[in-house]
């Protein structure tokens, strides 16, 4: 079986995605963990296009949920899962948003491209999908062509996870 070739343009896009995710740390109160909230990030490519590289920004309510660590620390990487096989990923947490760079030599699947396991902060109300605005800041095709029009959305875990989250917040 032949390994897929990654074009130099795709590698350049991947490097740009990884390098462009650095930011300054946001100041704010630390989250006292009281359970977990898992979100799944869904990708919708523009009509007629396949995507092999994306930079996705997920804003999150930092007073209600948090991710241990900062930027691309190991603690942050441990909270990101479900990345499709064969894709490089570079999560970066700013303590207010998660910036996720992903690149590969094939097309990303439509649907879930990664999930994030957040700490739920003690004494805060349950979170809703609207608390996690998502946008695709950059996207490229398998040929390395930058494209506009890709969209993302967020789903909050299973119904059981949502119920546990809401019950935990009712304490």
The pLDDT value given to residue 10? 46
Q: Mean pLDDT across the stretch 43-63? A: 95
pTM: 0.76
Q: Could you give the domains of the chain?
A: 10-17+30-159 (2.60.40.680)
Q: How do residues 147-160 score in pLDDT, each as one tens digit?
A: 999 999 999 984 33
| Sequence-ordered alpha helix ranges (H) in 60-101 | 74-78
Closest CA to 113 of 156, 74, 159, 153: 153
The pLDDT value given to residue 70? 76
Q: Is the per-residue pLDDT at 122 higher than 50?
A: yes
| Terminal Cα-to-Cα distance of the chain (whole angstroms) | 55
Q: Are 66 and 96 in contact (CB under 8 A)?
A: no
Q: Is the per-residue pLDDT at 4 higher than 80?
A: no
Task: Return the number of other C-beta atoms located less than 10 Å from residue 6's C-beta.
Answer: 18
Buried-state track 102-119, b at ≥16 Cβ within 10 A, e below 16: bbbbeebeeeebbbbebb
The pLDDT value given to residue 163? 41
């Amino acid at each position: 079986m032949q390994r897929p070739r990654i074009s130099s343009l795709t590698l350049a896009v991947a490097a740009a995605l990884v390098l462009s995710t650095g930011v300054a740390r946001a100041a704010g109160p630390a989250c006292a963990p009281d359970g977990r909230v898992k979100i799944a990030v869904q990708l919708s490519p523009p009509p007629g296009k396949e995507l092999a590289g994306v930079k996705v920004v997920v804003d999150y309510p930092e007073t209600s949920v948090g991710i241990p660590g900062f930027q691309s620390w190991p603690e942050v990487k441990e909270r990101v899962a479900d990345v499709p096989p064969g894709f490089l990923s570079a999560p970066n947490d700013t303590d207010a948003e998660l910036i996720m760079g992903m690149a590969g030599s094939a097309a990303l699947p439509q649907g879930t491209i990664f999930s994030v396991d957040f700490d739920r902060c003690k004494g805060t109300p349950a979170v809703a999908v609207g608390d996690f605005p998502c946008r695709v800041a950059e996207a490229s095709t398998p040929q390395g062509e930058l494209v506009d029009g890709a969209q993302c959305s967020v789903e909050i875990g299973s119904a059981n996870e949502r119920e546990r989250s809401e019950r935990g917040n009712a304490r």
